[in-house]
Amino acid sequence: MGYDANVKSRKSEQRQRLMMIGSLIALSAAFLLVVSLLPPSPLPVAPAIVAIEKNAADIMTKPLRRGDTKIAGDAVVASSKISNKVKSAATGMAMATVDDQRPQPRSFPKSEMEAAAARALLEARVREIKKTGVIMEVDEESLKMTRKLQEATKEVLKLRYGDFGSKNYRVELILEFQPSIPDYAEKGKDGSIIIEMAPISLVPCSVYNFMEIARTWKSGAFRRNAGHVLQALARSNVTESMPFQEYSEEYPHKKGTVGYAGRPSGPEFYVSIADNSKNHGPGSQQKKNPYEADCIIGTVVKGMEDGTVARVHKMPGQGFLSNKDDWVLISAMRILVPGDGPDGYVEFSKPLEST
């Protein structure tokens, strides 16, 4: 009897173990089935991306007023406010592909604030590419990213300054000639130059940069008197050079055009008083990159024919003028947009607060 009881006890324990194992297997299968039916969890957003988006949004929602030295309200400032460490970490992730399971850039929203924040992400990425030294004009990845930045810039331009189709924006430079100019006694101190921006279909980033220089203008002056250009110092909330050398063969550096000085370009700019296609066009200033050219802004439409530009050219001395009393001051800039004014333009009157 003792032996039979032990055998029955062992068999009972085996049945219990098998039942427990079967139950566990059934529970596991049920759990896997439930999990498979759930929607996939979203990819975590990289902290660096969150930092950039929050920073750009914070900047864009603050009111922008003339003379405000802390806020520029554009992608340049949005990127410059981010520490290099955060920006560097973010740029590698912002434009990632689905294959590497990293966050994707958002589509451009319609509000100006969000559009500018999206543009800031793209500009940061383009600046990082530029730093690598790659020849961006023929590099596929660079071209892809610059095109994205250009499209984002067009969006912000239209939201901020208005969409006027094929008509271009204009900027008026209010000049102040100093007594050192030879014809001061005859013509006095006042003068102005009007620049019509290049089509944003060709060089939107260059146009945007100059519109922002004008919008946040502090001070400046024509201070270089050369045989081919009149170069101006520009003080505004735009303190960085262009993110890349934007240039279009459809808009070369002819006489009367306006371009950004330096490589990288800006924020100083110049008026070409001669055809500078060879001096500032592709391959003009370096051997390593035969494609790179000065960024171009627009064309003088008032000031060439009436002699104002020629008068600036009468500044005493040649080259960069060390004596500030010899400079032609730019006391203000006015943004002009298509309207019902006498010449088809009116002063831009949209509030400077981002909307």
Specify the pairing of strand 328-338 against strand 345-347.
Answer: antiparallel
Q: Determine contact, residues 197/352, Cβ cutoff 8 Å.
A: no
- 89 confidence band (pLDDT: 50, 70, 90): very low
Lookup: tokens for 117: 């924040």
Give dist(CA 129, CA 118) in Å, integer.
17
- 27 confidence band (pLDDT: 50, 70, 90): low
DSSP for 213-272 reads HHHT--EEEEEEE-SSEEEEEEESS--SPPSS----TTS---TTEEEE-TTTT-SSEEEE
Asked whether residue 56 carries a pLDDT value surpassing 70, the answer given is no
Task: For residues 123-139, give the mean pLDDT.
Answer: 94
Residues sharing a CB contact under 8 Å with residue 155, sequence separation 6 or more, in sequence order? 108, 115, 119
- Could you identify the residue written with the tokens 């990425």? 125
pLDDT, tens digit, for every residue of 110-122? 588 899 999 999 9
pLDDT, tens digit, for every residue of 218-261? 999 999 999 999 999 999 999 999 999 999 999 999 999 999 99
Task: For residues 21-34, give the mean pLDDT.
Answer: 54
Per-residue pLDDT at 281: 73
DSSP secondary-structure letter at 301? E
Asked whether residue 108 carries a pLDDT value surpassing 70, the answer given is no
Which percentage of the chain shows pLDDT scores above 90?
A: 59
Kindly report the average pLDDT of the chain as a whole number: 78
Task: For residues 315-326, give the mean pLDDT.
Answer: 96
pLDDT, tens digit, for every residue of 161-210? 999 999 999 999 999 999 999 999 999 999 999 999 999 999 999 999 99
- Cα 308 off chain centre by: 31
Asked whether residue 135 carries a pLDDT value surpassing 50, the answer given is yes
Task: For residues 281-306, give the mean pLDDT.
Answer: 87
